[in-house]
Amino acid sequence: MKTCTLSINNKKVTVEAGTTILEAAKLAGYYIPTLCNHPDQAIKANCRICVVEDKTAGKFVASCSAMVYEGADIHTNTKEVRELQIGILELILANHPNDCLNCIRNETCELRKLCERFHVRNYNLAHETDIYPIDNTSGVLVRDRNKCIKCMRCVEACQETQMVGILSPSQRSVNTNISAGFNENLDETLCTFCGQCSAVCPVGAIYENDETEKVWEALHDPKKHVIVQTAPAVRVGLGEEFGMPRGSKVTGKMVAALKMLGFDKVFDTDFAADLTIMEEGHELLSRIKNGGTLPMITSCSPGWINYAEGFYPELLDHLSTCKSPQQMFGAVAKTYYAKKAGIDPANIFTVSVMPCTAKKYESKRPEMNASGYRDVDVVLTTRELARLIKNAGIDFTNLEDEDFDSIMGASTGAAVIFGATGGVMEAALRTVYEVVTGKTLEKIDFDEVRGLEGIKEATVDLDGTPIKVAVAHGLANAHKVMEMIKNGQAKDYTFIEIMSCTGGCAGGGGQPVGANKSIKARRIDTIYNIDKEMPIRKSHENPEIKQLYEEYLGQPNGPLSHSLLHTHYHPRRHK
């Protein structure tokens, strides 16, 4: 490894050549302020707040984009550097609404934190904010361009990480703004609602459509039987909102908090994930047996579904017809559960807590009403659940663990790994192997499909029949896989898992902001640890799932399953 020794504020530090001054400073113990910088993204050097003085070169440089070199004498806190950094901050504020009290990002706003850090309280620049209408046409993501600081992180998330290309900078100078499509409302575009833009926005310019009030309303309505389901990835993200270490496992606290909030039943989407495996696994076997369209692709990530419908409408036959676990849960809740509990499904109000913004879109799809009622009434993101808990004044970090309620609360290790990229594939393989071979799977962990590599492949031996599978996460990788299918280069694949977001749901667009790949990796580690500790690790062994089939559904992929748990897709068009 080639190294460089440089001095930062007179402190010698040796780093790998090619490191930015910003990163080197971190190693020397200094956090240089940043706004446009994001560790998972390309260097942009737009905001310039990371300016430092390079005394060797006799100039001021943006430390995010300036590389270290041998003998560099860098200063991050000189009088002039501070004046420049504060100057830039003031220039941003002069164009910012500065209504932090009303802003959804108040506590998590990177700009506000910098103001606090630099103690910017008043300045003498003329205040001129932009005047754009707020776009909440989608009911999923809200865009408030007036708060935008033009860092371009959302653009990179949309164009590079996700390759969806809905958001782009338009106009120039003081009119620079981020446009959706050709200056359209979000619902008119082919936005997948993955929400990665909202997860990387440093301020409150793009955020989830907050629906916590709807939940309060239901909770306060004595006629309503309000039940809640929580997705696998929420339990490894939620704690971050309460200052707990990134990737903390807070399953029990989350359940306790939900009970304190007044939910009549606290169920687990993991239960529905096991159900999904039963349905999807059998669908796959049926496709293999009956010459159905292969490779079959998973359908539990609604951002991915939106992408496929928008960008690959000719390949929709490859998608599993299974609804996502969220929607399966809703459909079962308003039929099977309603019947068993003796409650009129009209009075059941289903809330789901998801690491995902696209789940909001999914729940609003007109076809998601197989029971005669909306499968899911309201979707909250992890961030909104935290807001709900804070709103209720619950001391989250000190809660005693509680357990999910029965009869849709039991789950397996196979279900919880749905929250990580590769998890659905692994869960499916655990079940499919045993169903096909009739043998017990010795090695439960499929390490080949784990991890953060963009596209992963594995060949699994099903009792003498090798099947080739692939896993992709992040829509840019989905794009690659779909191009392969389109060009006939994926014929030897049988089953493919695609997740809309990098890392899978653990890195979902509705998870706590401020995450990066290493934080996502920590959440994923926790997910696999939970799996390891589960007494049951295969979906088909979930007792409540067995009970569901015995008492109600009959067979996986049977007629009732088909009407309740499966769906169909249609091309999405640019309006």
Partner 1 sequence: MGKTLSILTKNFKNINVDTIDDYLAAGGYEGLRKVLSLTPAEVIEVIKASGLRGRGGAAFPTGKKWEQAARVKEDSYILCNADEGEPGTFKDRYFLEFDPYRIFEGMTIAAYTVGGREGFIYIREEYRRQREIVLKALEAARAAGFLGKNILGSDLSFDIKVVSGAGAFVCGETTALIQSMEGGSGRPKIKFQRTAVSGLFGRPTLANNVESYCVVPILFTKDAPVYLSQGTEKSKGSKVISLCGNVERPGVYEVPFGITLREIIYEIGGGIKNGREFKFAQIGGASGPIVSKSLLDLPYTYEDFGKKGYSLGTGAILVADDTNSVAEFMVTIQEFFVHESCGKCTPCREGNRQLLKLAHKIADKKATVEDFLTVKRIANVMNKCSFCGLGTAAPTAMVSAIQHFYDMYN
| DSSP symbols for 64-80 | TTPBP-TT-EEESSSHH
Query: Are 313 and 199 in contact, with CB atoms under 8 Å apart?
Result: no
- Residue 96 CB, nearest approach to partner 1 (Å): 10
Q: By C-beta, is 62 or 481 nearer to partner 1?
A: 62
77 lies in the binding site for partner 1 (CB under 8 A): no
Q: What is d(CA 417, CA 233) in angstroms, rounded to the nearest whole number?
A: 8
Tell me which of 46, 138, 196, 500 binds partner 1, using CB under 8 A: 46
49 lies in the binding site for partner 1 (CB under 8 A): yes
Of 157, 68, 20, which is closest to residue 516 (Cα–Cα)? 157
Which residues make beta-bridge pairs with 5? 14
Query: Are 218 and 378 in contact, with CB atoms under 8 Å apart?
Result: yes
Question: Hey, what are 248's tokens?
Answer: 């903390």
Which residues make beta-bridge pairs with 266? 228
Q: By C-beta, is 62 or 219 nearer to partner 1?
A: 62
131 lies in the binding site for partner 1 (CB under 8 A): no
256 lies in the binding site for partner 1 (CB under 8 A): no
* Strand 465-473 to 455-462 pairing: antiparallel
Q: By C-beta, is 65 or 437 nearer to partner 1?
A: 65
Question: Which strands, in side-by-side order, build the sheet including 455-462?
Answer: 296-297, 493-499, 465-473, 455-462
176 lies in the binding site for partner 1 (CB under 8 A): yes
Catalytic residue among 80, 213, 367, 551: 367
Instruction: Please state, in angstroms and as integers, the Cα–Cα distance from residue 515 to each residue in 98, 187, 374, following that order.
Output: 24, 26, 32
Q: Segment near partner 1 (CB under 8 A), from 137-145, 170-178, 201-209, 294-302? A: 170-178
Tell me which of 51, 199, 417, 515 binds partner 1, using CB under 8 A: 51
Q: Is 505 a catalytic residue?
A: yes
Site for partner 1 in 406-425 (CB under 8 A): none
Q: Is 359 a catalytic residue?
A: yes
276: Cβ–Cβ under 8 A, 6 or more apart, which residues? 300, 322, 323, 324, 325, 328, 418, 424
Of 337, 256, 367, which is closest to residue 547 (Cα–Cα)? 337
Q: By C-beta, is 95 or 108 nearer to partner 1?
A: 95
- Residue 171 CB, nearest approach to partner 1 (Å): 7
91 lies in the binding site for partner 1 (CB under 8 A): yes
95 lies in the binding site for partner 1 (CB under 8 A): yes
173 lies in the binding site for partner 1 (CB under 8 A): yes
87 lies in the binding site for partner 1 (CB under 8 A): yes
Q: What is the 3-state secondary structure (H, E, C) of 152-204?
A: CHHHHHHHHHCCCCCEEEECCHHHCEEEECCCCCHHHCCCCCCCHHHHHCCCC
The single-letter DSSP state of residue 247 is T
- Identify the residue whose tokens are 């007494």: 535
Q: Is 367 a catalytic residue?
A: yes
Q: What is d(CA 284, CA 436) in angstroms, rounded to the nearest whole number?
A: 11
Catalytic residue among 138, 248, 301, 320: 320
- Residue 172 CB, nearest approach to partner 1 (Å): 5
Catalytic residue among 147, 150, 265, 359: 359
Q: Is 201 a catalytic residue?
A: no
Tell me which of 7, 26, 45, 455 binds partner 1, using CB under 8 A: 45
The torsion angles phi and psi of 237, rounded to 5 degrees, stand at: -115, -35
435 lies in the binding site for partner 1 (CB under 8 A): no
Instruction: Please state, in angstroms and as integers, the Cα–Cα distance from residue 137 to each residue in 95, 143, 184, following that order.
Output: 25, 9, 10
175 lies in the binding site for partner 1 (CB under 8 A): yes
Query: Are 139 and 209 in contact, with CB atoms under 8 Å apart?
Result: yes
Q: Is 362 a catalytic residue?
A: yes
88 lies in the binding site for partner 1 (CB under 8 A): yes
Q: What is d(CA 332, CA 347) in angstroms, rounded to the nearest whole number?
A: 15
- Identify the residue whose tokens are 């045993």: 434
Q: What is d(CA 323, CA 563) in angstroms, rounded to the nearest whole number?
A: 11
Total residues interacting with partner 1, rule: CB under 8 A:
34
67 lies in the binding site for partner 1 (CB under 8 A): yes
44 lies in the binding site for partner 1 (CB under 8 A): yes
92 lies in the binding site for partner 1 (CB under 8 A): yes
Q: By C-beta, is 93 or 482 nearer to partner 1?
A: 93
- Residue 196 CB, nearest approach to partner 1 (Å): 22
Tell me which of 4, 22, 28, 62 binds partner 1, using CB under 8 A: 62
Q: By C-beta, is 46 or 567 nearer to partner 1?
A: 46
167 lies in the binding site for partner 1 (CB under 8 A): no
Tell me which of 122, 124, 290, 398 binds partner 1, using CB under 8 A: 124
Tell me which of 105, 112, 145, 150 binds partner 1, using CB under 8 A: 150
383: left (phi over 0), alpha (psi -120 to 50) or beta: alpha
94 lies in the binding site for partner 1 (CB under 8 A): yes
Catalytic residue among 241, 280, 309, 384: 280
Q: Is 280 a catalytic residue?
A: yes
Residues with catalytic roles: 280, 283, 300, 320, 359, 362, 367, 505
* Residues near partner 1, by CB under 8 A: 43-49, 51, 59-60, 62, 65, 67, 83-84, 87-88, 91-92, 94-95, 124-126, 128, 149-150, 169, 171-176
